[in-house]
Amino acid sequence: MSTQIYPLIKPELKVCVVGKSSGEIAEYFNLNQAPLEQADGAMFIVSAVDGISAGDIEIWNTARELYVPSMVLISELSNGETDFDDMSAIAGRILDPVQTPFLVLHDDAGNPTALIDLETLKLSDYSTGSRVELESDPEHKVLVFDFRKEFLEAIEEFGPNSFEEALSFPAIPFISVNGLGSFEIASLLNKLPSRS
């Protein structure tokens, strides 16, 4: 069992952050922001409250033309109205199909507090405001079986470096209050090579 905060993102990495609260999220991760044409990667924020704007969809399409590695960050999940699975499906229909390498687990009050990694089946527990990695329970493994099978098939289809090659698009949940998803987002961004 280990407690850690998210890894620092490589300072030379240039990231284009698009969507609602993009400034706050870029500041949270201390990102070196850049225009899409100069970016090593892009982060598209899809709000569980407001969705994604038509202008942001146009930027997504430009990112596809430029082959900029892109992730979808699902924000504002704590209202309980729309969950991560729903928003990932919506983003996948509006943008391009997305992969969900992590699923959200909720506490007894229904608050998103942990993620389960579909590749390793390890838990990232954010309930204390810092990340603690744990083994998942047998019932978690059963609950995510079908999602995991689908995710592993996607990895096999697109290849292990498909995010870096701008061929697949991970959707990651993010809640700044408890840091949920921050380690996973930073780890993915750090896989990207810097062009500078």
Query: CA-to-CA distance for 125 and 129, rounded, in angstroms?
Result: 9
SS (H, E, C) 148-183: HHHHHHHHHHHCCCCCCCCCCCEEEECECCCCECHH
What domains sit in the chain, N to C, each tagged with a CATH number? 2-189 (3.40.50.300)
SS3 71: strand
pTM comes to: 0.91
Question: Residue 125 in contact with residue 110, Cβ under 8 Å?
Answer: no
pLDDT by residue, tens only, the chain of 196 residues = 344 456 788 989 999 999 989 999 999 999 999 999 999 999 999 998 888 999 999 999 999 999 999 999 999 887 565 689 899 999 999 999 999 999 999 888 888 899 999 999 999 999 988 899 999 999 999 989 999 999 999 889 988 899 999 999 999 999 988 899 999 999 999 999 987 6
